């Protein structure tokens, strides 16, 4: 199923993702609203300047989440790697088939965001000031 790049890009932009280019591939990212160091990334398999994704077999859409330290000299760390979204759908009208693929992408984005939500809470707990213990 060929998902036109403009349909995929418009869908991701409507979800609050911003377009960037990483190694000549169009990637969309969205920073977490409570901790901007956590980022959900959607690798589109669309080459920069192309109007559609790569040919079948190399065209999966991938969703992951990373932690980017404030110190830019440190590398980003993976937080979540989700199963790829294959651009396959049941037979039917092209618009329905495209919507089916985009819904699966949205589901993966929600799963990534849920993992990040848990990590944000964990980081807050680790950085929360502790009450001093009783001394004898």
Look at residue 104 in the predicted model and tell me its pLDDT: 95
Look at residue 111 in the predicted model and tell me its pLDDT: 97
Question: In terms of DSSP H, where are the helices of the chain?
Answer: 5-14, 94-127
Look at residue 134 in the predicted model and tell me its pLDDT: 54
Q: For the segment 92-124, what is each residue's pLDDT rounded down to a tens digit? A: 888 898 999 999 999 999 999 999 999 999 988
Q: In three state form, how does the secondary structure of 71-104 look?
A: CCCCCCEEEEECCCECCCCCCCCHHHHHHHHHHH
- Residues 110, 136: Cα–Cα separation, whole Å: 49
Look at residue 87 in the predicted model and tell me its pLDDT: 80
Q: What is the pTM of this model?
A: 0.85
Regions of the chain with pLDDT less than 70: 1, 51-58, 130-136
Look at residue 3 in the predicted model and tell me its pLDDT: 81
Local structure of 63: helix, strand or coil? strand
CB 111 within 8 A of CB 62: no
Query: Residue 122 CB: number of other CB atoms within 10 A?
Result: 10
């Amino acid at each position: 199923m060929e998902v036109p790049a403009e349909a995929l890009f418009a869908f991701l932009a409507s979800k609050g993702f911003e377009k960037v280019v990483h190694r000549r591939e169009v990637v969309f990212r969205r920073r977490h609203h409570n901790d901007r160091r956590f980022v959900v990334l959607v690798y589109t398999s669309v080459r920069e300047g192309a109007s559609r994704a790569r040919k079948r077999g190399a065209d999966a859409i991938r969703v992951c989440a990373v932690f980017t330290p404030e110190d830019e000299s440190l590398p980003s760390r993976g937080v979540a790697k989700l199963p790829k979204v294959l651009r396959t759908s049941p037979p039917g009208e092209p618009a329905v088939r495209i919507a089916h693929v985009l819904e699966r992408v949205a589901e993966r984005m929600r799963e990534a965001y849920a993992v990040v939500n848990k990590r944000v809470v964990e980081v807050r707990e680790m950085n929360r000031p502790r009450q001093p213990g009783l001394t004898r």
